[in-house]
Amino acid sequence: MNKLPFLLLTALILSTPCTAAVSKENNTQPNWEADALYGVLRLPNAPTERFTTIEAGGDREVNGLGHNCAGFVNFEKPDVDINFAEDSEPGDKTNKTLTIAAQATADTSLVVYTSNSEWLCADDTSDSDSNPRLVFRNTEAGGYNVWVASPEKGGGEKVKLTVTVY
């Protein structure tokens, strides 16, 4: 038996790059590495306030990402990326407080992938205020990826996102 065809076929298979197709529907977390839908907010390590208007929501539920995670977001990309303290090394602790807040007429929630690879979420600020807010004290320099979740699939609610450093 001639082994040459078998060896050639084996060599071809081993030298062919293998890429596994992963369905977006099987992703269990939003894609924090993608470019944000509404851009990047660059914040210095100094008192600053930035605003942007976005549309909340998406077609995938965030339940199970972390404590208080609720609602629907776009799993393909964050709504906004925040680059905090760009003049510092990522991971450096600062003495600043970073606040991320969403204001809308609908009951939205915040989903944030932090610079130290944690998922944090916020729903209602209080019983009388359905607007979410997350506060980071002694904030680490680096990237924060932000999604604003809508209570219903699809969403589309207009949201004013406010990011403050003090």
CA dihedral 82, 88, 92, 95 (to 10 degrees): -80
User: Taking a C-beta distance cutoff of 8 angstroms, is the pair 116, 140 a contact?
Assistant: yes
User: Taking a C-beta distance cutoff of 8 angstroms, is the pair 55, 159 a contact?
Assistant: yes
User: Over pLDDT 70: what percentage of the chain?
Assistant: 83
| Beta strand segments in 1-63, E | 40-43, 48-55, 60-61
147 membership: H or E segment, kind and range: strand 142-149
User: Taking a C-beta distance cutoff of 8 angstroms, is the pair 55, 155 a contact?
Assistant: yes
pLDDT tens digits for 33-50?
Answer: 999 999 999 999 899 999
Q: How confident is the model at residue 2 (pLDDT cuts 50, 70, 90)?
A: low
> Is the pLDDT assigned to residue 117 strictly greater than 80?
yes
The full set of domains in the chain, from first to last, is: 30-165 (2.60.120)
- Higher local confidence (pLDDT), 164 or 86: 164
14 membership: H or E segment, kind and range: helix 4-15
pLDDT computed for residue 17 by the predictor: 35
**Sheet (strand 119-122) strand order:** 40-43, 80-84, 142-149, 109-113, 119-122
